[in-house]
Homo-oligomer: A and B are copies of this chain.
Amino acid sequence: MIKTNARNELIDITFGVAAEIEKTDVKDGICTVFCPHTTGAITINENADPDVMSDIIMKMNKMIPHREGYSHMEGNSDAHIKSSLFGNSKQIIVKNGKLQLGTWQGIYFCEFDGPRNRNVWVSVTG
């Protein structure tokens, strides 16, 4: 379970995903990281400078403002649109039980309608 702290937030979940892989017997295969929420997403991006995360959030809010004449009464259509654009799952190659990520890559849970309590599902197939 992930507790998000803001309406828009990108949270590094790389270590949590790696821990799930270690619980399985699969050494070589594909790891699927799946967000079961329709106002969240999963992305893979830079894990070094936190400014990259704040720039992503800033630009997405500019492109897709919170209010813009949407019909959906819940008032979070912007979050649903961002969810579809970022995608609700990502796949990572697993070798010898280890996630194969580039040097600067981390796996992020994307919150677009927080703060909320969120879940992420991890599955590894060999």
Question: Given A43-B84, A59-B64, A51 and B38 touching (CB < 8 A)?
Answer: no
Dominant secondary structure at the A interface: mixed
User: Quick one: CB contact mask for A42-57 with B, threshold 8 Å, 1 for yes?
Assistant: 0111100101101110
- Which chain B residue has the least Cβ–Cβ distance from A108? B84
- Whether, in the assembled complex, A8 has its beta carbon less than 8 Å from a beta carbon of chain B, the answer is no
Report chain B residues within 8 Å CB of A56.
77, 80-81, 84
Question: Given A34-B100, A121-B93, A81 and B55 touching (CB < 8 A)?
Answer: yes
Count residues on chain A whose CB falls below 8 Å from chain B CBs.
Answer: 54
- Whether, in the assembled complex, A15 has its beta carbon less than 8 Å from a beta carbon of chain B, the answer is no
- Whether, in the assembled complex, A123 has its beta carbon less than 8 Å from a beta carbon of chain B, the answer is yes
